[in-house]
Structure 1
Amino acid sequence: MAVAQRRGTESCQRGKLNNALLGLSASCEATGQGSGLCALADQAVVQTGWSLAFMDSTAYQVLQLIQAPKGR
């Protein structure tokens, strides 16, 4: 939400998103999950040079996947 709502400096937003995605990726790996959210986290954390557009897109995708019904 911090990235989507532009809370904090760009570097702060980048750090928050990176930490959230790294934690999510580690959690998915530890539990053996392979959901779309896990795949997104795995793909995003290996990208370099995160632009604001990339962070916006990734943050919105995460929010959509979190809010999606569990059957998806």
Structure 2
Amino acid sequence: MEPLFKPVITSIVTTDDSAPVRFTRSAKLRQQATNCLSIAVREKTPDFAADLIDEAIRLSRRARELEVPKR
């Protein structure tokens, strides 16, 4: 049976480095990571659950990078 949801992995490019925009983007990425994990824990296919967890890790890592102030 084909899963209903497949993660779409895209590169994230931001052109505005202002702090408010970066923190807003960071919050969105954290929410997407949470959504991936919520779906993964209910997923019956282990491979698909693993892909979702990997995507959540990538999203969280990028969110953390955006939260660090630029020098």
TM superposition score normalised by structure 2: 0.47
Bigger radius of gyration: 2
TM superposition score normalised by structure 1: 0.46
